[in-house]
Amino acid sequence: MSYLDDHFNFEISGEITRETNEGDTAPKLVFLHGLMGSLSNWRSLVKHFSESYQVLTYDQRGHGRSFKPESGYAPSDFADDLHQIINDLGWDKINLVGHSMGARNALQFAALYPERVQSLVMEDMGPESVDKSVDRITGLITSVPTPFKNKQQAKDFFAGPFLEIHKENKQVATLAKFFYSNLDQAEGGSIDWRFSKEGILKTMEEGRGVDRWAEFTALSMPTMVMRGEYSNDLSREVFDKMQSVNRKAKAIEVKGVGHWIHFEKPKEFTQLLKTFLESSH
């Protein structure tokens, strides 16, 4: 068994398999999901890349069906996981795409192991330290009265009370669907979070509590930063600053969407990503 097999729920897609490894010349593509997400967040997109790439998606530590340690939730811990994973797979260089928390972790990986990154895509997350963002997300999580008795009770909550509590948030309907998708049946039959709640809170504290401008400024590999027009997570001010401190980075703002660009406009996201990846080789 390997570090990957022992600790993570993962999927590898593409013409090349781990078992045969025949003609292992296909470029490698890794998607890192955001906070409270899982590999399933990328499934609808992976099919568009599996003919040309060998694609890895996995639940990051503390998330989904992967291991959930009591500590170790700094971006460097997530980056170390990815480093061990690609070593297990025998992958030399990867094209790395991260959304939200995944973008932070991808940035940290690229800073620590630049020789292993062919290209980097950061979806709607910047390198700044944001205490207000931590408070906002903590408030969202703690407003959900888990565990629920059953799925119907959970569904009713997200269809009513949750929408009312957070009605000032423009993305509340998307948030409700996203949160509901992160519930699972727990022991005893109740419905609770699929992720580690404590792990999520630690991830936010350690991930957003320190700025990483120096790491972003020093990036030399082909890099693309994507921002949703209505994003509350990557402000236009920070987005503009990212362009000024690293002129090599390609910056794109996608109109009419918020934080979940790949979910809200999957076709546009896919085309932008394909075009960028093709130009990076």
Q: How many residues does the chain have?
A: 281
Q: Which domain holds residue 43?
A: 3-129+211-279
pLDDT digit string, tens, across residues 265-280: 999 999 999 999 999 8
The answer to whether residues 75 and 96 belong to one domain is yes
Of 168, 201, 234, the position where a domain reaches its end is 201
Measured CA to CA in angstroms, residue 81 lies from 88, 109, 226 at distances of 11, 10, 24
Q: Which amino acid is at 26?
A: A
- In the chain, how many domains are there? 2
The answer to whether residues 124 and 136 belong to one domain is no
Report d(CA 126, CA 115) in Å as an integer.
22
Average pLDDT over residues 82-90: 97
The answer to whether residues 112 and 186 belong to one domain is no
Residue 139, pLDDT score: 87
pLDDT digit string, tens, across residues 34-53: 999 999 999 999 999 999 99
Of 201, 222, 254, the position where a domain reaches its end is 201
Does residue 260 register a pLDDT over 70?
A: yes
The answer to whether residues 84 and 105 belong to one domain is yes
Residue 16, pLDDT score: 55
The answer to whether residues 216 and 108 belong to one domain is yes
